[in-house]
Structure 1
Amino acid sequence: MSPNEFERFSVTSISPVLEIRGLDKSFYATHAADNVSFSVNSGEIVALLGENGAGKSTVIKMLAGVYTPDSGEVSIEGKQIHLDGKNPEIAFVHQTLGLIEWMTVAENIAQIIGYPKRLGLISPKAMNRQATEVLSIVAGGIDPEARVFTLSRTDRSLLAIARALIQKPKVLVLDEPTASLTAQDVARLFEVLQELKKVGVGIIYVSHRLDEVYEIADRSVIMRNGKVVADRQVADLPKSELVNLIVGKEVLETEFKAPSSEVKISLIEYGTENAGPLTLDIRKGEVIALCGLRGAGQDEIGRAIAGVVESTQGTISTPDGILKYKKVSQAVKLKIGFSTSNRETEAIAPGMSVKENLFLNPLLWGRGIFSGMRSKNERAETFPHLDKFGVRPRDPDLSLDTFSGGNQQKVILARWFGLSFNLMVLEEPTMGVDIGAKADIYGLFSDVTQNGTSLIIVSTDMEEVVRVANRAVVFLQGVPVRILEKSEITFANLISIASNLDSTATSGGKTK
Structure 2
Amino acid sequence: MGEIPSWKTRRPAGIAGERLSLENIVQVTGLTKNHAHLRALKGIDLTVGAGEIVGLVGENGAGKSTLISLLAGAARPDKGAMTLCGDNFAPQNEQDARSAGVGAVQQRFTMNGSLTVAEAIAGLGHGAQGERDEVLERAREVLRDAGVDLDPEAHISSLMRAEKALVEVLRVRMEDPQLVLMDEVAATFNDHEVATVHAITRQLARQGRGVIYITHRIDEVRSLADRVVVMREGAIKEEFVPREVGADQIVFSMLERALPERDRPGGHDHDDEALSVRGLSTDGGLSNVDLTLRRGEVLGLTGLRRAGMNELVGALVGVHPGQYEHLQVSGRDVSISSAQDAVELGIGYLSDSDDELNEAHEESVARMLRNDDPDPDAGFIREVTALREVVAQVKALHIKTHDIQGQVGKLSGGDQQKIALARWMSTDCDILILNHPTRGIDVGAKGDIYDMLTDLTSKGTSVLLISSEMSELLQWCHRILVMREGQIVSEQTNDQATEDTLMAAVTGQELPSHAVRKRHVADHAPAEAPAQD
**For the aligned residues, what is the CA RMSD?**
2.8
Indicate conservation of the 8 Å contact 2:59/2:254, yes or no. Answer: yes
- C-alpha spacing 1:458/1:450, structure 2 compared with 1 (3 Å): same
Q: Of 99, 105, 114, which residue of structure 1 is paired with 2:128?
A: 114
1:94 aligns with 2:102: no
Indicate conservation of the 8 Å contact 1:10/1:201, yes or no. Answer: no
Three-state SS of the structure 1 residue aligned to 2:174 is: coil
TM-score, normalising length: structure 1: 0.87
Per the alignment, residue 328 of structure 1 pairs with 339
Gaps of 5+ in 1: 117-122, 505-512
Output the amino acid matched with 2:358.
I
- Provide the C-alpha distance between the structure 1 equivalents of 2:148 and 2:168, rounded to a whole number of angstroms: 13
Indicate conservation of the 8 Å contact 2:219/2:247, yes or no. Answer: no
- C-alpha spacing 1:294/1:374, structure 2 compared with 1 (3 Å): farther
Three-state SS of the structure 2 residue aligned to 1:457 is: strand
Output the amino acid matched with 2:497.
I
- C-alpha spacing 1:318/1:402, structure 2 compared with 1 (3 Å): same
1:105 aligns with 2:113: no
Indicate conservation of the 8 Å contact 2:366/2:390, yes or no. Answer: no
- C-alpha spacing 1:328/1:36, structure 2 compared with 1 (3 Å): same
1:311 aligns with 2:322: yes
Per the alignment, residue 259 of structure 1 pairs with 268
Gaps of 5+ in 2: 1-12, 513-533
Instruction: Quote how far apart the aligned CAs of 1:258 are.
Output: 4.6
Output the amino acid matched with 2:107.
Q
Three-state SS of the structure 2 residue aligned to 1:425 is: strand
1:403 aligns with 2:411: yes
Instruction: Quote how far apart the aligned CAs of 1:355 are.
Output: 3.5
1:242 aligns with 2:225: no
Indicate conservation of the 8 Å contact 2:297/2:478, yes or no. Answer: yes
Per the alignment, residue 186 of structure 2 pairs with 178
Three-state SS of the structure 2 residue aligned to 1:412 is: helix
- Provide the C-alpha distance between the structure 1 equivalents of 2:242 and 2:379, rounded to a whole number of angstroms: 51
- C-alpha spacing 1:356/1:105, structure 2 compared with 1 (3 Å): farther
Indicate conservation of the 8 Å contact 1:98/1:160, yes or no. Answer: no
Instruction: Quote how far apart the aligned CAs of 1:447 are.
Output: 1.1
- Provide the C-alpha distance between the structure 2 equivalents of 1:499 and 1:464, rounded to a whole number of angstroms: 18
Per the alignment, residue 352 of structure 1 pairs with 362
Indicate conservation of the 8 Å contact 1:9/1:196, yes or no. Answer: no
Within a 5 Å distance, the mapping from 1:201-240 to structure 2 comes to: 201-240=209-248
Output the amino acid matched with 2:280.
G
Per the alignment, residue 302 of structure 1 pairs with 313
- Provide the C-alpha distance between the structure 2 equivalents of 1:130 and 1:501, rounded to a whole number of angstroms: 32
Output the amino acid matched with 1:267.
S
Indicate conservation of the 8 Å contact 2:281/2:323, yes or no. Answer: yes
- Provide the C-alpha distance between the structure 1 equivalents of 2:303 and 2:14, rounded to a whole number of angstroms: 33
Output the amino acid matched with 2:186.
T
Per the alignment, residue 85 of structure 2 pairs with 77
TM-score, normalising length: structure 2: 0.84
Per the alignment, residue 439 of structure 2 pairs with 431
Indicate conservation of the 8 Å contact 2:191/2:468, yes or no. Answer: no
Output the amino acid matched with 2:115.
M
- Provide the C-alpha distance between the structure 2 equivalents of 1:110 and 1:37, rounded to a whole number of angstroms: 34
Per the alignment, residue 481 of structure 1 pairs with 489
Any idea what the Cα deviations from partners look like across 1:384-407, whole Å, max 9, x if unmatched? 332332222243333323332211
> Which stretch of the first structure deviates more once superposed, 233-242 or 263-272?
263-272
Any idea what the Cα deviations from partners look like across 1:151-178, whole Å, max 9, x if unmatched? 2333322221122133321111111121
1:47 aligns with 2:55: yes
Three-state SS of the structure 1 residue aligned to 2:401 is: coil
- C-alpha spacing 1:268/1:404, structure 2 compared with 1 (3 Å): same
Per the alignment, residue 461 of structure 1 pairs with 469
- Provide the C-alpha distance between the structure 2 equivalents of 1:321 and 1:431, rounded to a whole number of angstroms: 34
Three-state SS of the structure 1 residue aligned to 2:62 is: coil
Any idea what the Cα deviations from partners look like across 1:36-84, whole Å, max 9, x if unmatched? 1111111110001001111101111111222221111111233221132
Three-state SS of the structure 2 residue aligned to 1:20 is: strand
Indicate conservation of the 8 Å contact 2:356/2:420, yes or no. Answer: no
Any idea what the Cα deviations from partners look like across 1:286-340, whole Å, max 9, x if unmatched? 1111111222112322332233321311323245421233223222222221111
